[in-house]
Structure 1
Amino acid sequence: MIQPLFFTGVMQEKIWGGTNLRDLFGYDIPSEHTGELWAISAHKNGPATVSQGEYKGQTLTELWDQHPELFGHQPGDVFPLLTKILDAQTALSVQVHPDDAYGLKHEGELGKTECWYVIDAEDQAEIVFGHHAKTKEAFTEMIHAGEWDQLLRYVKVKPGDFFYVPSGTVHAIGGGITILETQQSSDTTYRVYDYDRKDEAGQTRPLHIQQSIDVTTIPHVDPKPMQNVVKQGDTEIKTFVDNEFFKVEEWVVDGETILKASGLYTLVSVLKGEGSIIVDSTSYPLTKGTHFILPHGINEWTLKGHLQIIASTPGENI
């Protein structure tokens, strides 16, 4: 019998991190500057571990390598997706990620297209999302002149907002924002600007100006929002994005609903509430902060309770 794969993720301390992973979700955190939980990850910099069941103690990386049937024998050397929760107590660096071709050529790993669901945000919190330069020459000149207020595009955010962030998009999560991020499994980040801040050792973090100029999309183009909504049983399903990298949905459960698989496998993160998922007559409790994969071969499941879930399935661009 195929069972859901529940995971214990990996905490990442960051100069900009805080305590929301503990305060909002009850996780144990290593310090008051905990920036990320890599909740469902097979990346070498933070592989998640199965927490119960037949594969308890194995990493997602090991499952991908040793049990390809769990993922529908999906092609590719690496598990393609990574689910994170980020707590930005202060702003992240202004950054940009390469596409697959540039990432593989220069960094030896996939590029990074990602998307954000805003879990929590302080009043007037904002992100950097795009820029105002119309040409590469203007973009380069404004960076070297430090004309950040003129270059960067700021957007106010609130809980429940969703942003699709393709590779090549200049971006930064601002302070006072907690998000769930679904992304390609990559840790390649090119910093454009880091506010001249210093770490505990008094050192500034490296910038990657030429790489950023190389990979940034100029001029910036806002992705068109999707957000199709359907009602299925006692669940409202909102599709945020569905493309070659991933499909990402919000499931708001208020009662009981039978759902069917729509991809090779499904990554699931519970953001609010409590309830259960029933697979092959076995019930598994779900609480806020639970993360799991429904492997290939689980074609149908029942959700019960009052739950807010972000779920994703892989695209075909492996």
Structure 2
Amino acid sequence: MYPIKFSNLYYEKIWGGRKLEDYRTNLPKGNIGESWEIACHKNGMSIISNGKYKGKALIEIIKEYKNLIVGDKIYIDKFTDRDFPLLIKIINSNENLSVQVHPNDKYAHRVENDNGKVEAWYIIDCEEGAEIIVGTTGCTKEEFKRSCTEGTVEGCMNKIAVKPGELFLIEPGLLHSIGKGILLAEIQQNSDITYRVYDYHRGRELHIDKALDVVNFNGGTKSLCINNDLVIQNHMNSEKFNIDIYNIKGSYSETSDKDKFFVFTCVEGKGKISFVDEGLRKFIDISILESFLIPAYLGEYILIGDMKLIKSHVF
């Protein structure tokens, strides 16, 4: 076992841009809105980019090595792409995303034959004055439905100014949108279900009836403060995943968990990860915006450098 890195899966979006060129040299042409960093979904499957598994799909090595990759509490005999619990993205919004909402598992399983979606946003960079939408200003369901018909949805939305280093939890039923001029890491439940209610007159399909089925008009969120003086912060515990923030200055050693895998995403700086494979001490470089998977049975590893990492894991 070794820390596994993946090729970027790029998606052009009507609201995307070219911000990722500040960090990478492999960006394809077009307005790139999303880079799927670690994905095991019917709409995007990660391909390994390092080591002896290079070129293999994530689902292939899970089926080959089973719990050694994902962990004793995650692997099941008939493991499919839907059973992988996390999807990690980098999002670049050159324009506002649609105002949207995600269903919970119960609704998504029944209506979409897919998972529901909980997600978290870590703001990596943003333009001055950049905002996100989270929840409403207190409107009723009837007022909101009328605003969808009249095109006045923006007046019902709760807007929050953001800055780099902030972390937000977006739960199912919460109306939300990423405003223009933001680069963020998105850690989410493994799903690609979105119901749009307003799209800034861009002509794309809206899903108002389904959205009204799942919207929670009492929902909200707030920024979770990050203390950069702490090496590790257990920062977010949700029903579907946990997030820890690692501030590495020098080195930090820990051991993998045989019950589950970990995913790390570098959001500041750079460094290396050291581990032992087949009796030899090895090192893998870590660059900003890179994600890598720690297999459940990897064993001890050492994070080395000057960098900030998001660690994502379940239970």
The two structures share one fold, judged by TM-score above 0.5: yes
The worse-fitting range, judged by mean Cα deviation, of 277-286 and 152-161 is: 277-286
Would you say 1:171 and 2:166 are equivalent positions? no
Name the counterpart of 2:33. Answer: 35
Name the counterpart of 2:186. Answer: 181
Q: Secondary structure at the match of 2:40?
A: coil
Name the counterpart of 2:247. Answer: 252
Would you say 1:267 and 2:272 are equivalent positions? no
Deviation at residue 8 of structure 1 after TM alignment: 0.9
Q: Can you give the 5+ residue segments of structure 2 that lack an aligned partner in the other structure?
A: none
Name the counterpart of 2:142. Answer: 137
Distance 1:16 1:255, change over 3 A: same
Deviation at residue 134 of structure 1 after TM alignment: 4.6
Q: Secondary structure at the match of 2:44?
A: coil
Name the counterpart of 1:285. Answer: 285
Would you say 1:47 and 2:45 are equivalent positions? yes
Contact conserved, 1:128 with 1:172, CA < 8 A, in 2? yes
Distance 1:88 1:224, change over 3 A: closer
Distance 1:222 1:272, change over 3 A: closer
In 2, Cα distance between equivalents of 1:111 and 1:226: 27
Name the counterpart of 1:200. Answer: none
In 1, Cα distance between equivalents of 2:36 and 2:238: 23
Name the counterpart of 1:201. Answer: none
Contact conserved, 2:136 with 2:158, CA < 8 A, in 1? yes
Name the counterpart of 1:8. Answer: 7
Contact conserved, 1:132 with 1:220, CA < 8 A, in 2? no
* Aligned ranges 1:82-161 → 2 under 5 Å: 82-161=87-166
Q: Specify which of 65, 68, 71 is matched with residue 67 of structure 1.
A: 65
> How many residues matched?
303
Contact conserved, 2:274 with 2:284, CA < 8 A, in 1? yes
Contact conserved, 2:135 with 2:157, CA < 8 A, in 1? yes
* Aligned ranges 1:173-212 → 2 under 5 Å: 173-197=178-202, 204-212=203-211
Equivalent pairs: percent with the same residue?
Answer: 35
The worse-fitting range, judged by mean Cα deviation, of 273-282 and 185-194 is: 273-282
Deviation at residue 191 of structure 1 after TM alignment: 0.3
- Scaled by the length of structure 1, the TM-score of the pair is 0.89
Name the counterpart of 2:306. Answer: 306
Contact conserved, 2:85 with 2:314, CA < 8 A, in 1? yes
Name the counterpart of 1:216. Answer: 215
Distance 1:253 1:107, change over 3 A: same
In 2, Cα distance between equivalents of 1:111 and 1:142: 25
Quick one: which amino acid aligns to residue 204 of structure 2? Answer: R
Distance 1:105 1:230, change over 3 A: farther
Name the counterpart of 2:17. Answer: 18
In 2, Cα distance between equivalents of 1:217 and 1:79: 27
In 2, Cα distance between equivalents of 1:289 and 1:16: 20
Deviation at residue 229 of structure 1 after TM alignment: 7.8
In 2, Cα distance between equivalents of 1:105 and 1:26: 40
Distance 1:305 1:179, change over 3 A: same
How well do the aligned residues superpose, as a CA RMSD in angstroms?
A: 1.9
In 2, Cα distance between equivalents of 1:230 and 1:159: 16
- Scaled by the length of structure 2, the TM-score of the pair is 0.90
In 2, Cα distance between equivalents of 1:226 and 1:145: 37
In 1, Cα distance between equivalents of 2:117 and 2:256: 25
In 1, Cα distance between equivalents of 2:191 and 2:90: 15
Q: Secondary structure at the match of 1:143?
A: helix
Contact conserved, 2:120 with 2:186, CA < 8 A, in 1? yes
Q: Secondary structure at the match of 2:159?
A: strand
Q: Can you give the 5+ residue segments of structure 1 that lack an aligned partner in the other structure?
A: 198-203
Contact conserved, 2:102 with 2:173, CA < 8 A, in 1? yes
